[in-house]
Structures are given as structure tokens and as C-alpha cells.
Amino acid sequence: MKPISRDEDRLWEEHLYREEPDSDFTLKVMQKLDGVSIESGEEEHSFVKKSIRAHWLRRTGIAAAAVVILAGGACFAFDRTAEPAQPLVNAVDRLPLPNIPVPEALKYSYFADDYKRLKPLGLVVNPNIYINDQGYTLKIEDVLVDRSHMVMTMQQTTPDGLGLSRLLSELGRIHVTDEEGRQVATLARDTRTKDPLTERLLFQFHDEIPDQVIVRGELRNLNMGSYYNYEKKSYENRDVTVDWSFQFKIDMTQAKSLAVENSMDNTYTTPEGLKLDMTQLVRTPNGTRLDLNVSLDDELRAKVDEDWANYMSIIYHLEIPETNEYRIFNGIRPDSRQAKFRLQDLSELKNGGRLKLSETWDPALVTVDAKNIRFVLDGYTLPVKEEKSVEVDLEKRRKDKNFYAFAQFEQLGDEILFYDFEYEPVMESYDPPKIDVKKGYSLVLKGSGTFLNAFMGDRWVALDASGKEYPVEVIGYPDQPNNNGEYVEDDLQLKIRGFDEEKGTKFTLKREVVDREYRDVNWEVDLPSYSSLPWLK
């Protein structure tokens, strides 16, 4: 069998362990607010990770619900010459979902509707996996399968009955292969589930799928989290060794027969040198998937870091005249939504290859039987190396005026004004990982910002008088664009970790990487249609 590489473990960690809002709470709020128009959009970047929890505490309950209302969608007739006064909120999944019971493990998740679409078509598999080792149990039931994706729910409990979500350390040891052990699916992300949920895993199938697929897991080490050792007076991680090995087979013949695949050959290169290749459109009962390849020319490649593909995104909208649908995807725009499932396959980049990108649209946003879909590129974001700095002197702050700007930063159409500051203790659990400052105090600069660029993929550092660098965390979330297309954040904070009062009052604040939003694009594609959909026969 195929050995498990360190690269696979790293990929799983990047995809699964992200600090984000709690989806169970927001889902319940969304259900209560059915029919309420709320706009939201959120991209995930981790060059400089914002303190999401702190941001959410500052917002109202309605604002919290805005994140999950992404799944609701707005349906309105489009007119390129005029903005609609007030978009209607209405699901566009015109096919009524069957009134069937949903398993408890899926009932209160975003996958409840997916289950209702797939179960009557024979696309839900129950492998009946139940393992009990030392009281630690693993149960796998109700695997959702279509031609495009597989969703596997892993119910994990401790001897005292508590759940183990977010605590598995070896999820990279799960493979989806053919009978010879060749990988036939890649880990993807469900954008609707914002938690780092490790009990529900999403895989996207490759272009070639065998009739029989093997799902194999080799789970042995459970990370139970940290506990306080009173003898050593320190926190320590507690690990438990179990044997949670499993294997089951999935017959893919039905899933393959209930799909429509269209190959595509549409190419566009932006003025800055980013190339997009549309390769395939896949329709299944559970969503429509668009596959693209992304590459950079040599000049643009020289401006970005090696991990640029982790953070780039395309901004586009879909026009469907037949059903009066107009959908904006990605970015921070009015009524912007996220694809239901997203795959960013980086496997070819090591050899100078391309990024393989897939976006799958939920039937609640884009009807699966829609014809004459037009894809319109609106722009894209890409973190580029564009250094700019400003000298900050804390002694210039005016205490007699609430909003006196003692420092100002401008770059590429972005402007930040700082008018206040404070010091706060370093909080290890909420600050960005992989930095070496774990105690002491942080300087928090407070102000407001107006941005033409994507903002959350920026990377900042601070340098004291001796040239020592301090990591900077950005806290804030811009509102939707104003009439000038600018994103405004009136409660912006830059936290300089480890820079306390003893470090002095003067330092250099530098933005090293800018999450540029490029809007100079001109590309429209009429996506392939179909003659019939097999699951509607």
C-alpha cells in the first residue's frame, strides 16, 4: 500500500486546523432568520491571521448570522446597467427536497439537504464501521457520494462519552484509492463549515474514477489536548494510542451514471500575467463543479512567494437569464457568496506546474438544471511582495482628542490612520501560531483603514531601533465596498506581539506582502449546457 508522506500530513493540517467561527451556532441562527436579507463574504488567508473570535464578540448576533447566510443566496433579475434596489432572498433549488428522516449526525449540519438529495438516488453508503479500543470509539455511517465528491462523517467519542472533534492528529492517514492503491481523490474543503471540524471529511474525486473505490484509514494516535501538570507547573499535551484502522469499499457505478461531464478549453491571460484555463464542468444532483488551472508568467511569478497558491482567489459572477439568477462569488462584495466546496490542488506546483482549482456551487445558489450559464471574471486576489513602511512615534498621540492621527500609512490605494494604542498581555491561544513570542506584552495600534486591496492576506512586521523584527497580527474585517469600490474598516487594530513599553516609543511599521486585488480583467465564458440530466429521468 502507498506509504503516507510528510507532505500529506502537512496538507491535511493546513486544510483542517483553522480557527474560525462556530458553525453549529450560526447554522441555528440561519434557520431562525430564513427569509432575512443579510450580505456577507469572507475569504480565508493566513499570512496574517486575524483574531476572529475577538471580531465576532464585537459584532451583533445578526452580524454573526451573516457569515452563514452564505448558504441562503440572493435571487434577483440582473441588469448590468443598474444595481437592484433590494435583492430578494430566495433559495433557487426549485426541485423540492424529499421529506425523509436525516441521521442525527447530519441533521443539524449543512449536509442535511445534501443527504436528502442523494439518499433517494442510492448515493448514501453505510459501511457500518464501529471500533471500540479502550473505550475510545470510532463510528462511520452514511457516507455521501456522487461523481464529484465523497463526504465521510467520523463520530469519535472518549470513554466518558465526550466527542473528539478537532482532536485527531493523524487524519492524514486516510486514503481514497482504487483496488491497486492508487489515489483517486484529493482532500477538499466545505466552505460552509467554518469550524476546523475533523469528524466530517470531504474528498473530491479525480477525473478518472474506477467502479470500485477503497477507503482506508490507519488512525492510531489521539491528541487529547493540553492539561496542566501541577508537579511540573506547565501545560503538557496528552496523547492516547489506539487502533482505529478501518477499510471499506464503495461501488461508484451509480454515482458515475448520475452525472453530466463536459470538457472545456477556454483560456485567458490577465494583463498582469495570470493565466486561467477552464478544463471541465461537472453536474451532479448535489451541485455544479467548475475546474480551472491557474498559472503565472515569469514576471508575475517573481513578485509572489512560493506559497502564493494557498492564498490566491478568483472573483467572478454567474448570469443565468432563463431563471433570472445572478450570483457573485468570492471577495468582499455586496451579496457575494462562496462556492459550496472548494479544492486547491497544489501537487503540481513543486515542479513549476499549475494550481488546480475547483469550485462547486450549491443547488440552493445555482440551480443544477440551469442552462445558458455565463461565467464573468470580475478580478482576482494575489499576495505580492510590495514593501512599504512608515515611522511611528507613540509620543505623538494626542490624549486631548479622540481621533487625532499620530501615524498614517498609504500604499497602492490603501490608507490606514492610527489614533490610539494600548498594551495587552500576550495570549498564546488566540494569537497566530508559528511565531516565537509566547509571553510578555503586545502593543496594539488602533485606527481605521480604507482599502482597495483584499486586505486579509497582507503580511506586516515591526522593527525596533536595533532592527529586531516583531510579528504583527491584523484584527478587523472591512465592510462591503463603498461607492468608490473601497473596503472600510473603522475598528482596525494592528497587534505587535512582544513589543512592550520597555522597547521604546519609536519603531518602523512595514507591510511586506500586499494581498492585491486586480480588477483589470475582461473575460466572459458561456459554460457548456446539456440535453438531459440522468437523475431527473
Average pLDDT over residues 150-158: 90
DSSP bridge partners of 313: 381
Q: Do residues 177 and 250 make contact, with C-beta atoms less than 8 angstroms apart?
A: no
Q: Do residues 378 and 319 make contact, with C-beta atoms less than 8 angstroms apart?
A: no
pLDDT tens-digit profile of 293-346? 999 999 999 999 888 998 899 999 999 988 788 899 987 777 789 999 999 999
Band of the pLDDT at 170, cuts 50, 70, 90? Answer: low
Helical pair 61-68 and 23-32, crossing angle rounded to 10 deg: 100
Each as own residue / partner, the long-range contacts of residues 178-181 (CB below 8 Å, 24 or more positions apart, any chain) are 178/210, 178/212, 178/213, 178/214, 179/210, 179/212, 179/214, 181/1, 181/2, 181/214
If one compares 119 and 30, the residue with the highest pLDDT of the two is: 119
Band of the pLDDT at 76, cuts 50, 70, 90? Answer: very low
Pairing of strands 336-337, 325-329: parallel
Separation CA 81–CA 209 (nearest Å): 44
Q: Residue 432: what pLDDT?
A: 45
- Pick from 155, 151, 66: which is nearest to 110 by CA? 151
Separation CA 474–CA 49 (nearest Å): 7
Band of the pLDDT at 409, cuts 50, 70, 90? Answer: very high
Taking CA atoms, 501 is separated from 243, 391, 407, 425, 505, in Å, by 51, 17, 18, 12, 7
If one compares 33 and 533, the residue with the highest pLDDT of the two is: 533
Q: Residue 227: what pLDDT?
A: 63
pTM of the model: 0.76
**Residue whose C-alpha cell reads 521604546 in the numeric block:** 504
Q: Residue 418: what pLDDT?
A: 94
Separation CA 308–CA 9 (nearest Å): 20
Band of the pLDDT at 238, cuts 50, 70, 90? Answer: confident
